[in-house]
A and B are shown apart, each in its own frame.
Chain A
Amino acid sequence: MSWLDHPENVARLYRGLWVFGGLLVLADLVVHRHAETAFDGWFGFYGLYGFVACVALVLAAKLLRRVVMRREDYYDQ
């Protein structure tokens, strides 16, 4: 059994990632981000965008699966 085989270690990593993400958002208060567009200077913009984009991507891909997914040997028949 390696370290990663223990679910509690994976949970620790997961919580650690949230803490790191939280710190990065808080860093917006300290670091002046010079915005490239009208809205990317907003507090926590990139974090929120990344999270929402990925959730939307996965949900849309699940819908796409209903349309395009076929059996593995579809083209071999």
Chain B
Amino acid sequence: MISEIPAGLILVAAGFLLPLVPPALRGVLGITAPALAFAQLVWIGSGYRLDVEAFGVTLALVRTDALSLAFGYVFTIAALLNGIYSWQAHRGVEQPAALIYAGSALAAIFAGDLLSLFVFWELSAVASALVIWAGGSSRAYRAGMRYLLVQLASGMLLAAGAALRYTETGSLAFDFIGLASPGGLLLIVAFGIKCAFPLLHNWLQDAYPEASATGTVVLSAFTTKIGIYALARGFPGEEGLIYVGAAMAVFPIFFAVIENDLRRVLAYSLNNQLGFMVVGIGLGTELGLNGAVAHAFADILFKGLLFMSMGAVLLRAGSVKATDLGGLYKSMPLTTILCIVGAASISAFPLFSGFVTKSMIMTSAAQEGYTLIWALLLFASAGVFHHAGIKIPFFAFFAHDSGIRCKEAPPHMLIAMALAAALCIGIGVYPAALYAILPLPVSYEPYTASHVLAQLQLLIFSALAFSWLMRNGIYPPELRSVNLDTDWLYRRLGLRLAAGADAVLHALFAACRDAAGVLGRAGQSALERFHGSQGVFARTWPSSAMALGIMLMLLAFLLSYYFA
């Protein structure tokens, strides 16, 4: 019976139900619903389909295969971790919205046609905007509004692309699309917005850090990974993606180095990790595609862990700005250790998850002869360790002692972080478990002496570079600041253009009003002249003048009668 309900809709239903159950039970529902969805996915397994008739077409509401299941598993795990992490946060709209968001993201993954995909794409966009707004500040409100506009634009492109495909091919099926097929370009841009392609990326860094301590954690898992999944389904082997992905992996790390808000640093680092996945999809090889999926799986866990640790810092210390923090390892030793596990995982230290997933993509790039791309990814790998692996734990927990003495993170947050950390290490130590659920058979061995040594050299010398720059005063100091990114185009330039257009329209309107005034006054004075009290038509004439006038008219009539 339960297998007939799409897993995503279990979470969506739980989200709508959440405000109706007593507060004491909400935490339990927030955990059991994802657990149930996970169990259901394990139960139905691969090759399951659920078709429904709607709008005169057959919609594939659920279609499970290895690709969608891999994302489905990790989505339900992320929703479960989020349920534990936000155990005590059951106030207001955030938790219901988070469950609906997770559920619609899960349903989007299993959608077998573009119309169902579109419906859940939009539902997840609206629900995630609610999560951002639940942050509560006016900054969160404005950032959420900008975020929603971008997400809805992606949905519109998806709808347009799907419509074009339907009219051209008569099919809505969501399988391989390719750039050359009808609607391909629209769809790749729609997916690219979600994946945070360069220049389409800034909604991510703009909005995520404005959500609450718990909200950012749930946001980090889903939206971008729906994009990665859709790209892997629709555009594997599209060569352009290799270059797009490499650019994505490289440019955010420069911003991450100079960013002061540590959750925004993580948002840039998320963008950079997505770049690796996009390269893997672009390569389209067995190793590249598997690597992209494996890295998405690992990233949801380690990035979730890092965002959770920063959420705990925000909760306890009241800030996640590097300028405010430092020395927190004394107050929050467990959070410090768990954050370092996340940092080691994203940095791809041997025995941690990133080591066994990211290397698949890089090896594939090297094997396919993309040496420059490989070198860029290696640069990005060193950069990841630098800004996410070192900067995050260093400035939050070590650096100079800020004097902040706070409580350790609450138990439910520690449990969620510990579970995420266990999964990060579990994948790193026993990668075969993850490799077994990848879309294609895996014949890759991450643990060779050569690979371990190369990676350790890269990381230790990156750490040495950081320490050397720090000790010699070259490292840029943390400063209270904002850094302009593409959001400047609409937050400032767009605003100025709008203000300029407003001024021009105002001037135009004023000119029209003045011209109308002049014309009106001229007309009025003309009327006054002829019809006014002193006007020619308003004068009183003597009756003899009237008699003379009539006589002249009769005379003219008589004359014309005789001569005519």
Q: Tell me, yes or no, whether B27 is within 8 Å of chain A by CB.
A: no
Given A14-B471, A54-B382 in contact, is the A69-B483 Cβ separation under 8 Å?
yes
27 A-B pairs with CB atoms under 8 Å apart are A17-B464, A18-B464, A21-B460, A27-B453, A33-B450, A36-B362, A36-B367, A37-B371, A38-B371, A45-B454, A46-B457, A49-B461, A50-B462, A57-B257, A61-B476, A64-B255, A65-B258, A67-B484, A68-B255, A68-B258, A68-B483, A69-B482, A69-B483, A71-B482, A72-B480, A75-B482, A76-B139
Most chain B beta carbons < 10 A, residue from A5, A49, A71? A49
B residues near A18, Cβ cutoff 8 Å: 464
| Chain B minimum-CB-distance residue to A76 | B139
Q: Which partner residue on chain A sits nearest B382 by CB separation?
A: A53
B444: Cβ under 8 A from any A Cβ:
no
Across the interface, do A5 and B401 meet the contact criterion of CB distance under 8 Å? yes
Within 8 A of B (CB), among A1-59: 2, 4-5, 14, 17-18, 20-21, 24-25, 27-28, 31-34, 36-38, 40, 44-55, 57-59
B482 touches A57 (CB 8 A): no
Are A58's CB and B474's CB within 8 A? yes
B458-480 CB contact bits vs A (8 Å, 1 = yes)? Answer: 11111111111101001110011
On chain B, the number of residues with a Cβ less than 8 Å from chain A's Cβ atoms is 55
**Contact between A50 and B485, CB atoms less than 8 A apart:** no
- Out of B448, B456, B461, B491, which one reaches A51, CB within 8 Å? B461
Please measure, in the bound complex, the distance between the C-alpha atom of A1 and the C-alpha atom of B366, giving whole angstroms.
49
Q: Do B464 and A24 touch (CB < 8 A)?
A: no
B546 contacts the other chain (Cβ, under 8 Å)?
no
Contact B398 A46 (CB under 8 A): no
How far is the CB of A32 from the nearest CB of chain B, in Å? 7
Known: A2-B330, A18-B464, A53-B379. A58 touches B257 (CB 8 A): yes
Is there contact, CB below 8 Å, between A72 and B482?
yes
- Cα of A20 to Cα of B481 in the assembled complex, Å: 36
Do B465 and A61 have beta carbons less than 8 Å apart? no
Whether B257 lies near A61 (C-beta < 8 A) is yes
CA distance A76 to B475 in the complex (A): 28
B40: CB under 8 A from chain A?
no
Nearest chain-B residue to A65 (Cβ)?
B258
Q: CB-CB < 8 A to A37: which residues of B? A: 366, 371, 374-375
Q: A52-B465, A69-B482, A72-B480 are in contact. List 4 more A-B contacts (CB 8 A).
A: A14-B467, A57-B254, A58-B386, A69-B258
A69 touching B464 by the CB < 8 A rule? no
Q: How far is the CA of A17 from the CA of B254 in the complex (A)?
A: 25
Interface residues of B in 339-395 (CB under 8 A from A): 362-363, 366-367, 371, 374-375, 378-379, 382-383, 386
- Do the beta carbons of B465 and A17 come within 8 Å of each other? no
Q: Enumerate the 6 nearest inter-chain pairs by beta-carbon distance, A residue then B residue, closest first.
A: A54-B465, A50-B461, A36-B366, A46-B457, A61-B257, A50-B458
Which residues of the partner chain A approach B475 to less than 8 Å between Cβ atoms?
58
CA distance A27 to B451 in the complex (A): 13
A residues with a Cβ closer than 8 A to B are 2, 4-5, 14, 17-18, 20-21, 24-25, 27-28, 31-34, 36-38, 40, 44-55, 57-62, 64-65, 67-72, 74-76
Give chain A residues whose Cβ lies under 8 Å from the Cβ of B371. 37-38
- CB-based contact A70/B483 at 8 Å: yes
Which residue of B457, B467, B482 has the most chain A CB atoms within 10 A of its CB atom? B457
Interface residues in B384-433 (C-beta closer than 8 Å to A): 386, 398, 401
In angstroms, Cα B123 to Cα A44, docked, is 51
A72–B481 CB distance below 8 A: yes
Count contacts between A and B, CB distance < 8 Å.
Answer: 149
Give min CB distance, B375 to chain A, whole Å.
8
Residue B253 at the chain A interface, CB threshold 8 Å: yes
Report whether A36 and B465 are in contact in the complex, using a CB–CB cutoff of 8 Å. Answer: no
Nearest-Cβ distance from residue B364 to partner chain A, whole angstroms: 10
A1 to chain B, nearest CB (A): 10
Contacts of A61 in B (CB 8 A): 254-255, 257-258, 476
A51 to B465 CA separation, bound complex (whole angstroms): 5
- List B contacts of A47 (CB < 8 A): 457-458, 460-461
How far, in whole Å, are A1 and B410 apart by their CA atoms in the complex? Answer: 25
B457 & A24 in contact (Cβ 8 Å cutoff): yes
Residue of A nearest to B366 (CB): A36
Chain A residue contacts of B491, Cβ below 8 A: 75
A25: min CB distance to chain B, Å: 7
How far does the Cβ of A26 sit from chain B's closest Cβ, in whole Å?
A: 11
CB distance from A49 to the nearest CB of B (A): 6
**Contacts A50-B459, A57-B386: A64 and B258 contacting too (C-beta < 8 A)?**
yes
Q: Does B564 contact A (CB under 8 A)?
A: no
**CB nearest to B330 among chain A residues:** A2
What are the residues of chain A within 8 A of B479 when measuring CB–CB? Answer: 69
B455 at the A interface (CB under 8 A): yes
Q: CA–CA, A61 to B394, complex, Å?
A: 18
Q: Note all chain A residues with C-beta closer than 8 A to B330.
A: 2
Cα distance A4–B378 when bound, in Å?
Answer: 32
**Closest approach, in angstroms, between the C-beta of A52 and any C-beta of chain B?**
8
Q: Is B554 close to A, CB under 8 A?
A: no
A46 touches B455 (CB 8 A): yes
A70 with B458: in contact, given A57-B386, A58-B469 (CB under 8 Å)?
no
The answer on a CB contact under 8 Å between A31 and B379 is no
Contact B485 A40 (CB under 8 A): no
B518 nearest CB across to chain A (Å): 40
Contacts A64-B254, A75-B482; A34 near B383 (Cβ below 8 A):
no
